[in-house]
Amino acid sequence: MFSLSSTVQPQVTVPLSHLINAFHSPKSTSSVSASVSQSQHRDVVPEHEAPSNEPVLNLRDLGLSELKIGQIDQLVDHLLPGFCKGKNIFSHWHTSHVSAQSFFENKYGYIDVFNTLRSSCLYRQHSRTLKSICSDLQYWPVFIQSRGFKTLKSRTRRLQSTSERLAETQYIAPSFVKGFLLRDRGSDVETLDKLMKTKNIPEAHQDAFKTGFAEGFLKAQALTQKTNDSLRRTRLILFVLLLFGIYGLLKNPFLSVRFRTTTGLDSAVDPVQMKNVTFEHVKGVEEAKQELQEVVEFLKNPQKFTVLGGKLPKGILLVGPPGTGKTLLARAVAGEADVPFYYASGSEFDEMFVGVGASRIRNLFREAKANAPCVIFIDELDSVGGKRIESPMHPYSRQTINQLLAEMDGFKPNEGVIIIGATNFPEALDNALIRPGRFDMQVTVPRPDVKGRTEILKWYLNKIKFDQSVDPEIIARGTVGFSGAELENLVNQAALKAAVDGKEMVTMKELEFSKDKILMGPERRSVEIDNKNKTITAYHESGHAIIAYYTKDAMPINKATIMPRGPTLGHVSLLPENDRWNETRAQLLAQMDVSMGGRVAEELIFGTDHITTGASSDFDNATKIAKRMVTKFGMSEKLGVMTYSDTGKLSPETQSAIEQEIRILLRDSYERAKHILKTHAKEHKNLAEALLIYETLDAKEIQIVLEGKKLELR
């Protein structure tokens, strides 16, 4: 039955919820008539509004929280004699709230405070759930004065026992799960009622039962607190992980490049130890290697050079076309001297953001100086050290180059830092960079000559399996103007071709094939060329070959083919015996004659009406040679030994004189070619027919055909 002592628990706020439970319990556990009376009562009460300025106090404030089981019963009995037996008050009177109260007052001589309390708080909004009412009544409106009593001792004991029990509960399930399970306090209160009813708990045990229930509630509260703590901890851990994640992403090479780009903080390049690259790896650039040898000596033993007070260059500028081995040489210098090698590309310093390029240069030099002796290599120096022109594309280039100049001035020549710069356009460099004290030593790295090309080809051929019949010199002769990188690529392509064809070794055929592919583009085997066009091409190409063969100063023939390749339908290749440093007038005229051979052949064999467009590039070539002979080489009697650079600015007379001379040279060449082809019409026909059968003929085969011998069938 109603018992305050059993519901009030020694904890600050909790007992109030249970107090509601206590108020609620007579209703739910009383007889049917009692509940009827209450429901009617509730019907009436809603019109009644409790005073809004009710003083509110919790049980602790009232001192009731410290009461032991049974003590509150006594207290209530004392204050309200007969209250505990007074259920008939609620059940027998079908009166309004006000009259019920005054009746009570008349009968007992004091106001029924509990009725007031019930009417103002509990039943004011009867449609609300028990749970919400419980939360409303965290505080108990009080109309009577009361004194509380507590002892420190009892309080300590209570706290102890609470924490002990809490600890027990914690091990049962994860705290956040408990938090969820125990959050619904309202339903707990309801459950207590039901439990009391359904379990038929004897009156003697009800106190203990309720105490236990209240303690459970306390644990739930403590667990909720614990859940909040653990959630906070989880959030903190997630935040720390997020920070780590962001840091990790920034360390990622791809993103860090972006990071560097925007901040320029970490721009120095890690040094690379270049032991495995030596001068032995760089072929065909003997002069450059000799010049760099003294730098290697200096890096190995700086004292030897400084004892006599001599100064070595701070900067060395490697000048040469792309792919000729400038980077390789710089690496070889570091490798020979066994010092760290710092690589930086000029374009890395070319930044849109102010100060970034300059700060990178600073970082690079700072690191290098700390690791001297060493080599700093700046590739594409022109992109950082170009002339300091104001350009919207490179707004801060001035700053960067100034920083580079300052850094180069900033260390003594004997500190052991050697800066090697490389460029394809030395003329584009800022003059301040190439004055003595900066890049004051220039080393030219030219395209390799035929000897150099042969060496480079041998070097790379030795890295693959090749047939003994391979003659690197022949390939070298046919690859005039190739750089080291292009020759390396040629050998590699030949190896790939051999692999595709299922061969065990690379032969001359694959090397020739890859040379033509690089020079003229890939073969177009799939192209269907009709017989008529094939025949025209065969006579056209044999025309070139016949002129080359029968002209004294023409280059030796290497090969003739009617296999379409790149934009051409066929071609004849000629090989100089050696790289030509100079060309004679006779050689130039011979080249023009060979070019004319194609068109002359078409005209002689098929007639003027059937000449084709296929000779246009031949004429281009011949015209260029004739023009240079007249305007540059002083090889025209009429115009004399004089150069004419900008023909557009010349007087009309001079212009027409130049034009006439070129015309005469070309016409004479055409006539000479015609004469040769008419003279060797038979050989011309034989060669064309052989080409139609074999598609490609090498130098030896051409010779056999032109000597009138039969070719062995392949």
Catalytic residues: 541
Query: Cis link prior to 373 (omega < 30° from 0)?
Result: yes
Q: Give CA–CA dist 591/621, Å, rounded.
A: 9
Provide, rounded to whole angstroms, the least separation between the CB of residue 392 and ligand ATP. Answer: 27
Q: Are 154 and 10 in contact (CB under 8 A)?
A: yes
Shorter beta-carbon distance to ligand ATP: residue 455 or 593: 455
Provide, rounded to whole angstroms, the least separation between the CB of residue 446 and ligand ATP. Answer: 10
Count, residues near ligand ATP per rule CB under 6 A: 19
Among 124, 283, 289, 559, binds ligand ATP (CB under 6 A): 283
DSSP alpha helix (H) spans, 264-380? 286-300, 302-306, 326-337, 356-370
Tell me the residue number closest to ligand ATP, measured at CB.
484
Q: Does 325 contact ligand ATP by CB under 6 A?
A: yes
The sign one gets for the Cα dihedral 513, 516, 518, 523 is: negative
- Strands 439-444 and 315-319, by their bridges, are parallel
Q: Are 344 and 378 in contact (CB under 8 A)?
A: yes
In sequence order, the 6+-apart residues with CB closer than 8 A to the CB of 87 are 26, 30, 34
Which residues within the stretch 397-416 sit at the binding site for ligand ATP (CB under 6 A)? none
Provide, rounded to whole angstroms, the least separation between the CB of residue 266 and ligand ATP. Answer: 24
In sequence order, the 6+-apart residues with CB closer than 8 A to the CB of 182 are 188, 219, 220, 223, 224
Q: Are 568 and 594 in contact (CB under 8 A)?
A: no
* Residue 122, token pair as written in the block: 């509990």
Task: Find, among 52, 79, 80, 60, the residue nearest to 18 by Cα.
Answer: 60
Among 9, 116, 324, 403, binds ligand ATP (CB under 6 A): 324
- The one segment of 8-16, 113-121, 482-490, 540-548 that binds ligand ATP by CB under 6 A: 482-490
Shorter beta-carbon distance to ligand ATP: residue 59 or 495: 495
- The one segment of 43-51, 52-60, 223-231, 326-334 that binds ligand ATP by CB under 6 A: 326-334
Shorter beta-carbon distance to Zn ion: residue 15 or 598: 598
Among 84, 130, 485, 657, binds ligand ATP (CB under 6 A): 485
Which residues within the stretch 537-596 sit at the binding site for ligand ATP (CB under 6 A)? none
Which residues within the stretch 238-277 sit at the binding site for ligand ATP (CB under 6 A)? none
Identify the DSSP state of 443. E
Shorter beta-carbon distance to Zn ion: residue 320 or 598: 598
Shorter beta-carbon distance to ligand ATP: residue 398 or 458: 458
Shorter beta-carbon distance to ligand ATP: residue 27 or 326: 326
Which residues within the stretch 580-619 sit at the binding site for Zn ion (CB under 5 A)? 598, 618
Q: Give CA–CA dist 333/70, Å, rounded.
A: 100
Among 424, 612, 617, 654, binds ligand ATP (CB under 6 A): 424
Q: Angle at CA 205, nearest 5°, toward 203 and 206?
A: 65
Q: Give CA–CA dist 312/297, Å, rounded.
A: 11
Q: Does 379 contact ligand ATP by CB under 6 A?
A: yes
Residue 198 burial (C-beta neighbours within 10 Å; 0-12, 13-18, 19+): exposed
> Residue 335 binds which entry of Zn ion, ligand ATP, none, with Cβ cut-offs from 5 to 8 Å by kind?
none
The interface mask with ligand ATP, positions 488-527, x = CB under 6 A, is x---------------------------------------
Q: Does 484 contact ligand ATP by CB under 6 A?
A: yes
Among 15, 271, 313, 323, binds ligand ATP (CB under 6 A): 323
* Residue-wise DSSP of 529-578: --HHHHHHHHHHHHHHHHHHHH-TTSPPEEEEE---BTTBS-EEEE--SS
Interface with Zn ion (CB under 5 A)? 598, 618
Interface with ligand ATP (CB under 6 A)? 282-285, 320, 322-328, 379, 422, 424, 456, 484-485, 488
